[in-house]
């Protein structure tokens, strides 16, 4: 997605992601031990279905990206508040013609492509999703929006995959997005916890911006 995907690996051990969410950000100890990895809930057959359907989608990823975000803003208009470039655009037809929306959609599709390529490398898949969650925290894109993207992706791609879209394919994609969303949320809460520690250390002064950060949700997805 043109995301901030480099950085330290995932912190393992401690409470589950669901327990962390229930307790709220920063509920763990100073080491972040409340974060815990979870296995990728996909069989080899499901991974194969995702790869095969992606081959079809890959030919039209720019259009899928635009459709996905138009659907997102139609069904959840409050999401536009996260994207300052789109916040003042009220007409969906104008959004469809937006180069910024096209570029952002391509970045999201690029992340999905990277995820599909790492289905057999679970540690690397987890790391890129975790780091994406961290970058979303830095640019104030809250976790409550993450699951919406998977829903709209599936709605957008069904007409493109056509007869190759089956219930098994849909369940496979749903499982993948559920996993990515959970890992991103862990990354978000870990970054939020670290930011809380930094604010305590620096007082009201924010810590230095990390190298490579753009300061834009659009550029880091």
Residue 2 binned pLDDT confidence (cut-offs 50, 70, 90): very low
Domains and CATH numbers, the chain: 44-194 (1.10.490.10)
pTM of the model: 0.70
Q: What is the rounded average pLDDT of the residues 86-91?
A: 62
Element at 18 (helix H, strand E): helix 17-23
Bigger pLDDT: 96 or 4? 96
Segment 139-184, tens digit of pLDDT: 777 788 888 899 999 999 999 999 999 999 999 999 999 999 999 9
């Amino acid at each position: 997605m043109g995301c901030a995907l480099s950085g330290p690996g995932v912190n393992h051990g401690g409470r589950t992601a669901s327990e962390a969410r229930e307790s709220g950000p920063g509920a763990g100890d100073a080491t972040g031990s409340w974060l815990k990895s979870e296995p990728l809930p996909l069989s080899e057959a499901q991974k194969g279905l995702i790869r095969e359907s992606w081959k079809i989608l890959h030919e039209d990823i720019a259009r899928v990206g635009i459709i996905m975000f138009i659907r997102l803003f139609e069904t959840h208009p409050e999401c536009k508040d996260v994207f300052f470039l789109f916040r003042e655009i009220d007409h969906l037809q104008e959004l469809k013609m937006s180069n910024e929306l096209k570029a952002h959609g391509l970045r999201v599709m690029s992340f999905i492509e990277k995820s599909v390529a790492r289905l057999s490398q679970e540690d690397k898949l987890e790391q890129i999703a975790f780091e994406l969650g961290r970058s979303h925290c830095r640019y104030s894109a809250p976790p409550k929006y993450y699951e919406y993207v998977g829903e709209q992706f599936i709605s957008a791609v069904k007409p493109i995959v056509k007869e190759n879209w089956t219930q098994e394919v849909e369940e496979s994609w749903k499982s993948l997005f559920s996993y990515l969303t959970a890992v991103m949320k862990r990354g978000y809460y870990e970054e939020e916890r670290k930011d809380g520690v930094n604010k305590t250390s620096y007082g009201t002064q924010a810590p230095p911006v990390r190298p490579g950060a753009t300061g834009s949700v659009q550029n880091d997805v």
